[in-house]
Amino acid sequence: MNSVWFAAGALALAWNGGPSGSGGETPSAVPAPQILQVRAREVWTAAGAKLTDGLVVIADGKIRSVGPASALDPKLPHVEHDGVLTAGLIACGSQLGGWSLQEDTRAVTSEARARLAFEPEQRAYAEALAAGITTLVLTPGPDNLVGGLTCAVKTHGGRVLAPEASLALNLSSRALGRSTVSSGFFFGAADEPGAVQPDGSAETTARTGRGTREPTSYSGAVTMLRELFGRGQGVFGRARKGELPVVLEAWDRHEVLRATDLARELGLRGAVRGAPLAGDEHVVAALKTAGLGVIVGPYGADQTRASLESLARLSAAGVPVAFATGAPAATPHDLRLSAARALAAGATPEAAWRALTSDAARLAGVGDALGELAAGREADLVLWSGNPLDLTARVVAVYVDGARAFPAGTH
């Protein structure tokens, strides 16, 4: 089989179950569903679950069924693909398009909303779509103690899935003692051997210093957050009630341990963004005890071994992991590259695939709708030329909400 369309009707054709009424007309009050069948040589329904010669049936943008290809109805629109069919990839953590919500004069910008910076017509979203990424989480800039609210969006169609996906907090050195005159700088972590930059890549050199904007210390940051959550107002109250997840940026070992301690103390749920030293057994234990997931990457060519081993160690402990794109510094294709590097460092294919799909959906706050191919899920699909965890495999086509989104301009 090749990736060809069968002439059983155009994709936009609505399936008519037959005439009704004396005039043989379908009642306009009950529109016929939009049906599409996608058959593939191999269907990855979930991590570790594969169906040979499988069929996914889509109705009105959602998956109606997943099963054997023998169930295909040749009278209805369908496509056949001689390759792998999977759920769309999900990236957790991005400032796609080059924007960044940042305020130098205030450390707390809880009112900031990443969805207000969502410009779906930007070319960057088309590039993410071409890389197989159908959903991503837009995050505020990493320079404030409280950055505001993240959002989950589709890379095609301009749809916002979760306008308030999580509350972004920052317990890394980058949020401490910022200057209100010049742009941000690093301190503390850059002076330590083996430290990492907030983009996840290995530390090289950095000129450090300290500004005067509060908080200027880790203890000051924790105190400010305790006071904000203690008042229980607005987003802080929602987070304490478990209604709103948090994403705590923390990179060095001591930062991650502060973040997990604070989450346990305040009863917060969500994830840590960073944690490149999660290979440390004490860090893994702290993350598991706090019930937090981890968002890692993107992994660069000079990434430390301990950082690359994080996915293997965390997944083995039952901690959900997802990858960030690192946009605009990294390309969307680096999402799969990060997974490949984690595989080479000992992660299982199942763990790597969960980090790209189901675990990523869970940490993005859309785990009930995306991340797996199952009845009732949104029909975000990717056709691959081969195993998507093999970097030689290419994206053949992408469907978002059941409609062909990439490549554009073809049937």
Q: Comparing C-alpha atoms, which of 221, 138, 239, 111 is closest to residue 174? A: 221
How large is the average pLDDT for residues 38-46? Answer: 97
Measure Cα distances from 254 to 35, 258, 319 in Å: 53, 6, 19
Q: Where are the domains of the chain?
A: 4-87+373-406, 89-364
* pLDDT computed for residue 33 by the predictor: 83
Portion of the chain with pLDDT greater than 90, in percent:
66
How large is the average pLDDT for residues 336-354? Answer: 96
How large is the average pLDDT for residues 2-12? Answer: 38
* pLDDT computed for residue 192 by the predictor: 36
Residues 6+ apart with CB under 8 A from 405: 129, 134, 156, 157, 398, 399
- Give 274-310 pLDDT, tens digit per residue: 876 656 889 999 999 999 999 998 998 888 888 899 9
* pLDDT computed for residue 98 by the predictor: 47
Written out in words, the top-level CATH class of the domain with range 89-364 is: alpha beta
- Give 67-84 pLDDT, tens digit per residue: 999 999 999 999 999 999
- Mean pLDDT of all residues belonging to the chain: 84
* pLDDT computed for residue 300 by the predictor: 86
* pLDDT computed for residue 326 by the predictor: 74
Which CATH architecture fits 4-87+373-406? Roll (2.30)
Q: What is the DSSP string of 6-59?
A: -SS--TTPBP-----TTTT---TTSPPPBEEEEEEEEEEEETTEEEEEEEEEEE
* pLDDT computed for residue 196 by the predictor: 41
Residue 286 and residue 253 in contact, taking contact as beta carbons nearer than 8 Å: no
Q: Which of 19-23, 176-180, 327-331, 343-347 has the lowest mean pLDDT?
A: 19-23
Residue 369: pLDDT above 70? yes
- Give 266-279 pLDDT, tens digit per residue: 999 999 998 766 56
Three-state DSSP state, 162 = strand
Residue with tokens 């191999």: 42
pLDDT top residue among 203 and 46: 46
* pLDDT computed for residue 22 by the predictor: 39
